[in-house]
A = this chain, B = another copy of it.
């Protein structure tokens, strides 16, 4: 792992917009689903997933879900249930209520909070199918009060027909009652526009391959979408007190995700820097996903030597990492200066996987520097607000002239008259 002075480092990965061919393919699929509905959905499923279904078999049955429970082991079931409880408890604290502001003149202003009515969660097939991500998308929607949460996932995973039983169990444990065996751009289009078999949703979330990402982009506006996740990142800010084996293990747990993942150590300690670089090498050698992790470390990994922890924090704020671990003697003292980081892990025992799987906060976190302006998935992503204005006659008589003045200065005479007509009539009464 290269050790470099901080000022020489720049992390930059361009956003993936797909090739013209991929965009064209997605446009065609979305258009076909929109006009032909189920017929196109079944055709693309046969074409891309090599599974021949009919409309009646799109929905996953109760029997299949029960069968999935037979396939999963007790340790998994216990762990996912405890994780679900923790995730629910954390997200419950994000809930907000509608409020009203009553004014002495009889005016009532307010903000109404309502859950979205129907949300679709996409779960990819194959190796990228993570039961934990099912919980992280479904539970916040549920806590928000979304009455209809539907999951879609490809009918075949890695060449094998049938849905990963761990995914089915995670969804059932999270409380999903409606699941369909469709994937790819065709599943996204079906959720957005609806078909006879799959009623449309208000929002689509969950990760997927490039076709899924492009389809989400294409239907945005018809429905809401979540942000399109980039490769994962971790930055560790550590001083001499940190255990190099812990730091290296945490960097590698990020690097093993994919070749484009980024793992960075920021430290003022050359001793730690060298020890971590050595540990990374020895831990890498025995890691099952060594090849992926090594390519990530070589391409996007680095140890950045800084003069002080303060300079380190400046760099962190510039990187705005998805995950930040702070392993220093007094991590809590630094918290107030950390401006940009999606999730902050403090101290030696707050290893990133604690947050990935179990502690409660969401593991879907802004990547690629977007923690500067966006947030981990949370309950607010599944609600909408409406403003409420109940103006009193007294308030209108008192303030009407101001409103008319502002409207006329913007050249909107019709606005002015809507007020004026009332003032004339009510003053006449």
A360 touches B93 (CB 8 A): no
Given contacts A79-B402, A409-B166, A415-B353, whether A376 and B370 have CB atoms under 8 Å apart is: no
Is A78 located at the chain interface by the 8 A CB criterion? Answer: yes
Is A237 located at the chain interface by the 8 A CB criterion? Answer: no
A410 touches B339 (CB 8 A): no
Residues of B within 8 A of A406 (CB): 76, 79-80, 83, 131-132, 357-358
Given contacts A114-B339, A131-B409, whether A386 and B253 have CB atoms under 8 Å apart is: no
Binary B-proximity of A317-338 (CB < 8 A = 1, otherwise 0): 0000000000000011001001
Given contacts A253-B414, A351-B418, whether A402 and B287 have CB atoms under 8 Å apart is: no
Residues of B within 8 A of A407 (CB): 353, 356-357
Is A378 located at the chain interface by the 8 A CB criterion? Answer: yes
Q: Complex Cα distance A355/B403, Å? A: 9
Q: Complex Cα distance A243/B270, Å? A: 78
Pick from B96, B386, B399: contact of A371, CB below 8 A: B386
Is A9 located at the chain interface by the 8 A CB criterion? Answer: no
Interface pick from A41-49, A105-113, A307-315: A105-113
Is A395 located at the chain interface by the 8 A CB criterion? Answer: yes
A416 touches B353 (CB 8 A): yes
Residues of B within 8 A of A415 (CB): 253, 256, 352-353, 356-357
Pick from B289, B332, B387, B411: contact of A376, CB below 8 A: B387
We find that the number of chain A residues with CB closer than 8 angstroms to chain B is 119
Q: Complex Cα distance A75/B399, Å? A: 12
A389 touches B114 (CB 8 A): no
Is A130 located at the chain interface by the 8 A CB criterion? Answer: yes
A384 touches B389 (CB 8 A): no
Q: Complex Cα distance A15/B86, Å? A: 41
Q: Complex Cα distance A361/B109, Å? A: 8
Given contacts A224-B373, A358-B402, A374-B224, whether A389 and B166 have CB atoms under 8 Å apart is: no
Q: Tell me, rounded to whole Å, the shortest Cβ–Cβ distance linking A119 to chain B.
A: 9
Q: Complex Cα distance A402/B93, Å? A: 24
A346 touches B390 (CB 8 A): yes
B413 touches A289 (CB 8 A): yes
Residues of B within 8 A of A130 (CB): 410
Is A40 located at the chain interface by the 8 A CB criterion? Answer: no
A374 touches B370 (CB 8 A): no
Residues of B within 8 A of A378 (CB): 111, 385
Q: Complex Cα distance A76/B409, Å? A: 8
Residues of B within 8 A of A163 (CB): none
8 A Cβ contacts from A209-264 to B: 221, 223-224, 243, 245-246, 249-250, 252-253, 255-257
Residues of B within 8 A of A127 (CB): 411
B418 touches A250 (CB 8 A): yes
Given contacts A112-B344, A221-B370, A252-B414, whether A349 and B393 have CB atoms under 8 Å apart is: yes
B390 touches A347 (CB 8 A): yes
Q: Complex Cα distance A406/B418, Å? A: 62
Q: Complex Cα distance A361/B389, Å? A: 8
Instruction: Give 28 CB contacts A-B under 8 Å.
Output: A83-B406, A93-B101, A116-B372, A117-B339, A131-B406, A203-B373, A245-B421, A249-B414, A249-B418, A250-B418, A252-B417, A256-B414, A287-B414, A287-B417, A331-B390, A347-B390, A347-B391, A351-B396, A353-B407, A353-B419, A354-B396, A354-B399, A355-B387, A355-B389, A357-B403, A357-B407, A359-B389, A361-B389
